[in-house]
Amino acid sequence: MADLEIRDLHVRTEDREILRGVDLEINRGEIHALMGPNGSGKSTLANTLLGHPSYEITEGSISFKGEDITGAEPHERAKAGLFLAFQYPVSIPGVSVANFLRMAINAKREEPIQVKEFRTQLQHAVELLDVDRSFTSRHLNDGFSGGEKKRAEILQMAMLAPDVAILDETDSGLDIDALRTVAEGVQRLHDEQGLGALIITHYQRILHYVEPEFVHILMDGRIVLEGGVELVERLEREGYDQIRQEVGAAHAGAQSPHVGAQAGAAGASAAGDGSV
């Protein structure tokens, strides 16, 4: 049984179905990449996994460490060991990064963390991620650049030590230096803490710095291809349109026994690169 299991997940918001049967398994210590064009449902999946109330699960289930969390509140999922790094982190003026981290840690504990223990953990995280210690005295995301906001998210991950982190387009809006810092931070947490991660992106560039073991392609609310890092390389060469054509041809071939050889060959090519 995987740590995070998503089974036949169907999700709608307002009057539109966005996810149309997603199956995915992620274990602690595994790095997965979920890729797909804009509008494919990637952020919907991220928000649904952490219990955003605007997204309605109409079918399927989400389990975490053997427990069904399909109807769990966001704070219950976070306490269980799930973490979401937002695409657009919010600012909290008046609350320092350090105070926010201490409150977040205490929310997961029976007894409040002692000051000395907290300082030791914070110092280790700052050194591990190569963050300026003065960063922790600033108000959370208030006046932060895009790169600083994402560094704050990675620092939260280091301090909270989740089993599985969902990174929703964390590379969005980052310059190359900030991107490298964030990606290296994720890799260090994976190496030291055994972090499991689902990196959601439609670009390949972050995956040049943190290499996934598993790659999933999401299109039109479904995972249409799965494989290893070779899928990232293929996307760089061909883009999404080629995959979309092959998946469509394979689907047509499954629906009708009279399709031509060209559609059958396209379906075989898609299956050769991963599961359709």
- The residue-averaged pLDDT of 154-169 equals 94
Classify domain 4-228 at the CATH topology level.
Rossmann fold (3.40.50)
Amino acid at 31: I
- What is the chain's mean pLDDT, rounded? 88
Sheet holding 67-68, edge to edge: 16-26, 4-13, 56-64, 67-68
pLDDT 10s digits, 223-258: 999 999 999 999 989 889 888 888 877 666 666 554
Question: pLDDT over 70 for what percent of the chain?
Answer: 90
pTM of the model: 0.86
Q: How confident is the model at residue 169 (pLDDT cuts 50, 70, 90)?
A: confident
pLDDT 10s digits, 77-97: 999 999 999 878 889 999 999
- The residue-averaged pLDDT of 147-175 equals 90
229-233 contacts at long range (C-beta below 8 A, 24 or more positions apart): 230/273, 231/35, 231/273, 231/274, 232/33, 232/35, 232/204, 232/207
**How many residues are listed for the chain in this entry?**
276
Boundaries of every domain in the chain: 4-228, 229-276
